[in-house]
Amino acid sequence: MADSFPIDFGEYRLLRKLAQGGMAEIFLAQDKKGGICAVKRILPHLAHEESFIRMFIDEARIVSHLEHPNITAVYGHGKVDGYYYIAMEFVQGHSLLAVSERAKQVKMPLPRGLLAWVVAELLAGLGYAHAARDPRGRHLGIVHRDVTPQNVLISYEGEVKLVDFGVAKARARLTQTEAGFTKGKLSYMSPEQARGEELDGRSDLFSVGIILHEITTNTRLFNKEGPGGILGAIVNDPIPRPSLKIRDYPGPLEDIVMRALDKDVGTRWQTAEEMRDALLRYGRREKPAPGQARLKDLVYDLFGAPDSQRDIDKAKALAAPTPERVEAHRELSQAQVRVKSHVEARPQSAHKPREDETRMMPSELEQHRSSARSAVARNLEITGDQVPAVKLPISRDEPEIPVPNPTEPLRVRLARFLAAFAEDLRLSWRTRRKKWVIGLSGGGVALLVLLGLATGAFGRMKEGLSGLVQSAKDFRETEGISERPAIDAGFEPTQLRIVSEPPGASITVNEIGMGSVTPYTLADLPLGEKLRVSLSLPGYRVYTEELVLIPNRGLQEYTMRLERQVGAVRVTSDPPDARIYLDGKATSKRTPATLEDLPADTEVSIKVVKKGLSPDTKVVMVVDGVTQELAFQLEVDEGQIPPGRISVESSPTGCSVFVDGNFAGTSPVTGVAAKTGSHQVKVTCEHYGEETRSVAVWSEQTTDVSFTLEPVAFGYLTIRPVPSEGSVVRINGKRVPTPVEFKKVIPGRHVVTVENRGLNQSRQIEVDVAPNARITRSVNLTQ
- Known catalytic residues are 146
DSSP state of 96: H
Query: Any bridge partners for residue 78, and if so which?
Result: 85
Helix 410-426 / helix 443-454 crossing angle, nearest 10 deg: 130
Rounded Cα distance between 121 and 294, Å, is: 14
Strands, sheet with 603-609, edge to edge from the N-terminal-most edge strand: 585-590, 579-582, 603-609, 616-621
Residues 420-446 as b/e (b if ≥16 CB within 10 A, e otherwise) read bbbbbbbbbbbbbeeeebbbbebbbbb
CB 306 within 8 A of CB 27: no
What is the CB-side half-sphere exposure of residue 625 using CA atoms within 13 A? 4
Query: Three-state SS across 611-673?
Result: CCECCEEEEEECCCCCEEEEEEECCECHHHCCCEEEEEEEECCCCEEEECCEEEEECCEEEEE
How far is residue 775's CA from residue 107's CA, in Å, rounded to a whole number? 67
Is-cis flag, bond preceding 306, omega within 30? Answer: no
Q: How far apart are the first and last CA of the chain?
A: 107
Beta bridge partners of 574: 633
Q: Report whether 751 contacts 764 (CB < 8 A).
A: yes
- Residues 6 or more apart in contact with residue 402 via CB below 8 angstroms: 420
SS3 of 235, please? helix
Torsion sign over Cα 208, 214, 220, 222 = negative
Distance CA 647, CA 681 (A): 10
Who contacts 782 (Cβ-Cβ below 8 Å, separation ≥6)?
A: 722, 723, 759, 761
Q: How far apart are CA 552 and CA 528, in angstroms?
A: 11
DSSP state of 407: T
Cβ count near 153 (within 10 Å): 22
Distances (CA, A) of 653 to 547, 665, 703: 98, 11, 19
CA–CA gap between residue 141 and residue 118 (Å, rounded): 24
Task: Choose among 160, 162, 161, 203: nearest CA to 184.
Answer: 203
CB 588 within 8 A of CB 571: no
Question: For 298, phi and psi rounded to 5 degrees?
Answer: -65, -45
Per DSSP (E only), the strands in 81-210 are 83-88, 93-95, 152-155, 160-162
User: Distance between CA 389 and CA 414 in Å, rounded?
Assistant: 11
Q: Which of 267, 445, 312, 289 is nearest to 6 (CA)?
A: 312
* Alpha helix (H) residue ranges in 148-242: 191-194, 201-217, 226-236
How many H helices and E strands in the chain? 15, 37
Pairing status of strand 656-659 against strand 677-685: antiparallel
Q: At what angle do helices 201-217 and 96-105 cross, to 10 degrees?
A: 10
